[in-house]
Structure 1
Amino acid sequence: MSPINHVQVVWFKRDLRVSDHRPLYEAAQNGPVLPLYIAEPTVINAPDFGTRHWEFIRGSLAELRENLAQRGQPLILRVGDAVEVLKTLHHELGIFTLYAHEETGNDITFQRDQAVRQWAKSQQIQFHEFYQNGVVRVLNDRDGWSKIWEKRMTEDILPAPHQLPTIKGLDLGEIPTSEQLELPKLPGTIQPPGEQAAQELLQSFLYERGQPYHYALSSPLSAFDHCSRLSPHIAYGTISLKTVVQALKKRRSELKDDTTEDAGGWKKSMRAFEARLHWQSHFIQKLESDPGIEFQSFIPPYDQLRESEFNSEFYQAWCEGKTGFPMVDACMRALQETGYLNFRMRAMIVSFAAYNLWLDWRQFGHYLAQQWTDYEPGIHYSQLQMQSGTTGINSVRIYSPTKQGKDHDPEGVFIKRWVPELVKVPLKYIHEPAKMPAIVQEESQCIIGKHYPYPIVDHIATAKEAKRRIYEMRRLPELRQLADEVMAKHGSRKKPSNRRFPKKKSSTS
């Protein structure tokens, strides 16, 4: 095809929407727009990428292509290295201007973005990047970060362009299936992807499902329905964080003068949800400011604690949900099937792996990343380290899987749904089936060691030993100095933290 006069190429990454999309909006002001998505083998074959991710992306891409086609120019898709794809487009289109959102991803996407910038500069191609959340590139000081976040979240929501001139002669490219990308078969389901699903979830949460959120978020019995479930949509950008924040503020304003009892619950829940929207960018900022936390602990000497003690049998039992701890096993199996767990249960399964099984977060982090539909590297690595005790500034909180089960699944409903071996186990023993007398095991058709495993560790003894080893490290003067540096660089500025060296008894919950 003959070169087209100065096309505006909009490179979609983790921003699969047409509404409130600044690169698309700005490009549409300056000439014909070519929307582009690149399926990159280096990203797809990385150890933190799973089939569930691609299935969510693929569904979102199909809707995005249709939304853009309705405006005149469908999305084009290419499979390959980003620089090589852009080189080919350069040959086909001539000089173009490139637009994209900034991305705080894993090291692969970080190196990819650097290579694209270098190539664009070498070819005298203008490359415009725009922020899309509260993460600040080249942040010199955490002081004032929250004000930047607030300012960004109050900016106008940008409309989708009404009409895009059609660029003829380019092959659109097929959106590949998981099989075509040679990804493993999806073990379970995914949430409905796409921009429309995101908008529907937002409205149903704010006006129908969210009233009990502030307490429902702790239990897997209620969280699946009463949490927002927007996290994968925010992670892959089928809705902008700003859109969610402004819709929430509108809802809070509507509730302000409502004095009914029902409104009281709504107000608590909306406040709690707003706090978590702040946390989203807060944690991603940690990775933006310190990319090394993907590979090493915030305080590197903590890497020595577990790296030589990997127990493959423990790891396999944990992955398969066959640890002998019903709440852990139910959560792991639910995660494999649905790609989702509520925050408290996420913390519990990481705590169990890191403390009770003494597994290094670097050894099990990729497995979890593959399972979460909403995998967000900045949040993922920060949370893995927080729950593993390697940040040096957070409380060592070790969750008792038995207590968590009794507190958040008292009737064993969640456990029996996901661990069918225990369906006939009496309520008295549902959280500790190994304590069943032999006659009860026979009556329940659940022989421990045959139908369901014995607990693979003593969770009380292993928790005690884990605390001893962590606090032994924390008392070292050189680690205290490193912890001060981590706090200065990454700590929240909202209020003084007293969590860096908690009392020794603040342990099991």
Structure 2
Amino acid sequence: MSIVFIGMKKVNIVWFKRDLRLHDHEALKEAINDGLPLILLFCFEPSLVNAPQSSERHWRFVWQSIEGMNKELEKWNTKVYVFYQEVLIVFEYLIKNYSVQKVFSHVETGIELTFKRDKAMTDFFSSQGIIWQEFKQQGVKRGRKNRKNWSKDWYAFMSAPVCDPEFPKARFLSLSNAFLKGISQESIPEKWIVVQPNMQRGGEEFGRKYMSSFFMERVKNYNKHISKPELSRKGCSRLSPYLAWGNLSMRQVYQEAEIRKKEKFQVGCLTNFQSRLRWHCHFIQKFEMEWEMEFRHVNMGFEELEKPYDERKVNAWKEGKTGYPLVDACMRCVQETGYLNFRMRAMLVSFLTHHLWQDWRTGVDHLAKLFLDFEPGIHYPQFQMQAGVTGINTVRIYNPVKQSLDQDPDGFFIKKWIPTLSKIPAALVHEPWKLTKIEQDIYNVAIGIDYPYPIVELESAARFARDKIWQAQKLPAVQKDAERILNKHTVPNRWP
């Protein structure tokens, strides 16, 4: 049902953020049940659009997601109203025209910018007598001080019935064109509307298709292909962007996996997949409890570890021109497609922070921009863990040549993303700097011209990093903060 009011009528609002779906949406369900006329809105906030972690690919995915929602909402004669303006300005405009009673949304575990925005909105709603009801997502709880009962609570949340809104009961409010034109805002960039064929498309419909194909067929290769840079593109679920932007809820995905397990289909692969869903939420909960790790070492003792900035090295890493084929292929791949499997992401971070001996903060925003599935709660804790600056995790220094030989032995992925190396035999493509002049002529590649020599010597760089990190781990400040981290983010002798 859609209705139009003139004057100061009582309304409720559903404010969509990283929950761009119409199913298993507790905020929308409760807003409909409340009974008042309802406005659905999303704000492209210029401050967030222009944040250092944001990129065009993110907002295209969001735009596509909202388009998908609005296509489904047509049957109810309503839509998600989109504003390209700061959310505070939008709500200030709304309350001049409507008597807003309640705002419904999900808790967002985001970057400092969204955290401070939410604090400002809390103050604003309070000053206006507006009730803001927030609902948790992913089993992540705001206000936790430690991990007591976290795993138990997570399983309970994942096993609870989905919260599907009852649309026939809804009383949706239509906003007039005159009203929409009355607020100053920017236009949606044309680039957001153009489909990029190399990237996954946003929206609940596409998320469901990926989920269906994974659980019906592709999951059978999950355990075998999860670490392979090319084969993982089909063998992994590819659901991460749909979870990051909320096209699918974690509960929906978990319960679909449970259904297939009960059918005795690929139980081992599905169990491992569900374990990673749990770890997904574990890291978001960690970030929810300590969001400052966006800017500083989670273990503050590592601030004493000096890593002089080297612009040449950082730029070579960002451009995929380090001279190590798998590193460069991975960077070029994620630049074009927005996707890379977990092991390859870890290797990129390890290479930057260990072999190139650069602070993790020199590359964290760069990869955030590139990952279509950028999820702050995973990105920052994982970046630091792979950089070896937590003080509680085993330091992993990935050898890119070994990874290349193990995960891309035929060089297919390397040759796909670095065409200048495409004629080199598989046995030689992993270490092209070892080619003789005659071999370079035969394979039509000039090392140092067509493709760079290695930017650092692998073994000595790894040895230097390992020694420095091990020394740092013995610092009193590091050990002291490691104890704090363990007490806050883990449950002793148990999985978190």
Q: Deviations over 1:44-65 (max 9, x none)?
A: 1000001110111010011112
Alpha-carbon offset, residue 37 of structure 1: 0.3
Structure 2 counterpart of 1:446, one-letter code: V
Match 2:20 to one of 16, 22, 32: 16
The yes-or-no answer on 1:216 pairing with 2:215 is: no
Any idea what SS the aligned residue of 1:212 has? Answer: helix
Q: Which range moved further: 464-473 or 478-487?
A: 478-487
2:69 maps to 64
Q: Deviations over 1:288-334 (max 9, x none)?
A: 11111111001123134245x11111111111111110000110000
Any idea what SS the aligned residue of 2:97 has? Answer: helix
| Unaligned residue ranges in structure 2 (runs of 5+) | none
Once residues 349 and 459 of structure 1 are traced to their aligned partners in structure 2, the CA distance between those partners, rounded to angstroms, is 14
2:449 maps to 450
Equivalence map 1:323-402=2 (5 Å): 323-402=322-401
1:95 maps to 100
CA contact (8 A) 1:188 1:337 kept: no
Measured at CA, do residues 252 and 169 of structure 1 come closer, stay the same or move farther in structure 2, by a change above 3 Å?
closer
Equivalence map 1:403-422=2 (5 Å): 403-422=402-421
1:431 maps to 430
The yes-or-no answer on 1:291 pairing with 2:291 is: yes
Measured at CA, do residues 351 and 120 of structure 1 come closer, stay the same or move farther in structure 2, by a change above 3 Å?
same
Match 2:256 to one of 222, 247, 251: 247
Alpha-carbon offset, residue 490 of structure 1: 1.4
CA contact (8 A) 1:51 1:178 kept: no
CA contact (8 A) 2:301 2:477 kept: no
Alpha-carbon offset, residue 175 of structure 1: 9.8
Once residues 268 and 467 of structure 1 are traced to their aligned partners in structure 2, the CA distance between those partners, rounded to angstroms, is 35
The yes-or-no answer on 1:157 pairing with 2:176 is: no
CA contact (8 A) 1:326 1:431 kept: yes
Equivalence map 1:295-314=2 (5 Å): 295-307=295-307, 309-314=308-313
Alpha-carbon offset, residue 211 of structure 1: 0.5
1:49 maps to 54
Q: Deviations over 1:201-232 (max 9, x none)?
A: 11111111110101210101210001000000
Once residues 387 and 77 of structure 1 are traced to their aligned partners in structure 2, the CA distance between those partners, rounded to angstroms, is 38
Match 1:138 to one of 143, 156, 165: 143
Alpha-carbon offset, residue 189 of structure 1: 3.4
Once residues 298 and 429 of structure 2 are traced to their aligned partners in structure 1, the CA distance between those partners, rounded to angstroms, is 38
Alpha-carbon offset, residue 176 of structure 1: 4.8
Q: TM-score, normalised by structure 2?
A: 0.94
Once residues 219 and 198 of structure 1 are traced to their aligned partners in structure 2, the CA distance between those partners, rounded to angstroms, is 22
| Unaligned residue ranges in structure 1 (runs of 5+) | 256-262, 498-509
1:232 maps to 241
Structure 2 counterpart of 1:7, one-letter code: V
CA contact (8 A) 1:77 1:175 kept: no
Structure 2 counterpart of 1:133, one-letter code: Q
Alignment: residue pair count = 485
Any idea what SS the aligned residue of 1:137 has? Answer: coil
CA contact (8 A) 1:333 1:418 kept: yes
Any idea what SS the aligned residue of 2:12 has? Answer: strand
Structure 1 counterpart of 2:23, one-letter code: S
Q: Deviations over 1:79-117 (max 9, x none)?
A: 211111111111111233111100000000000111111
CA contact (8 A) 1:369 1:380 kept: yes
Once residues 368 and 271 of structure 1 are traced to their aligned partners in structure 2, the CA distance between those partners, rounded to angstroms, is 29
Alpha-carbon offset, residue 429 of structure 1: 1.2
Any idea what SS the aligned residue of 1:10 has? Answer: strand
2:460 maps to 461
Measured at CA, do residues 477 and 167 of structure 1 come closer, stay the same or move farther in structure 2, by a change above 3 Å?
closer
Once residues 170 and 359 of structure 1 are traced to their aligned partners in structure 2, the CA distance between those partners, rounded to angstroms, is 53
CA RMSD of aligned residues (A): 2.0
Q: Deviations over 1:346-383 (max 9, x none)?
A: 11111001100111111110000000000000100001
Q: Deviations over 1:12-57 (max 9, x none)?
A: 0000010011111011112221101011011110000011101110
Once residues 389 and 188 of structure 1 are traced to their aligned partners in structure 2, the CA distance between those partners, rounded to angstroms, is 36
Any idea what SS the aligned residue of 1:451 has? Answer: coil
The yes-or-no answer on 1:477 pairing with 2:481 is: no
Measured at CA, do residues 443 and 177 of structure 1 come closer, stay the same or move farther in structure 2, by a change above 3 Å?
farther
Q: Which range moved further: 462-471 or 155-164?
A: 155-164
CA contact (8 A) 1:6 1:97 kept: no
Once residues 100 and 141 of structure 2 are traced to their aligned partners in structure 1, the CA distance between those partners, rounded to angstroms, is 30
Alpha-carbon offset, residue 161 of structure 1: 2.9
Any idea what SS the aligned residue of 2:160 has? Answer: coil
CA contact (8 A) 2:226 2:232 kept: yes
1:189 maps to 198
The yes-or-no answer on 1:114 pairing with 2:119 is: yes
CA contact (8 A) 1:52 1:186 kept: no
CA contact (8 A) 2:64 2:202 kept: yes
Match 1:205 to one of 202, 214, 226: 214
Structure 1 counterpart of 2:44, one-letter code: A
Q: TM-score, normalised by structure 1?
A: 0.92
Q: Deviations over 1:145-191 (max 9, x none)?
A: 0111111111111223323334234336899544589x9x9998320
Measured at CA, do residues 68 and 217 of structure 1 come closer, stay the same or move farther in structure 2, by a change above 3 Å?
same
Once residues 496 and 288 of structure 1 are traced to their aligned partners in structure 2, the CA distance between those partners, rounded to angstroms, is 18
CA contact (8 A) 2:302 2:478 kept: no
Alpha-carbon offset, residue 70 of structure 1: 2.0
Measured at CA, do residues 168 and 341 of structure 1 come closer, stay the same or move farther in structure 2, by a change above 3 Å?
closer
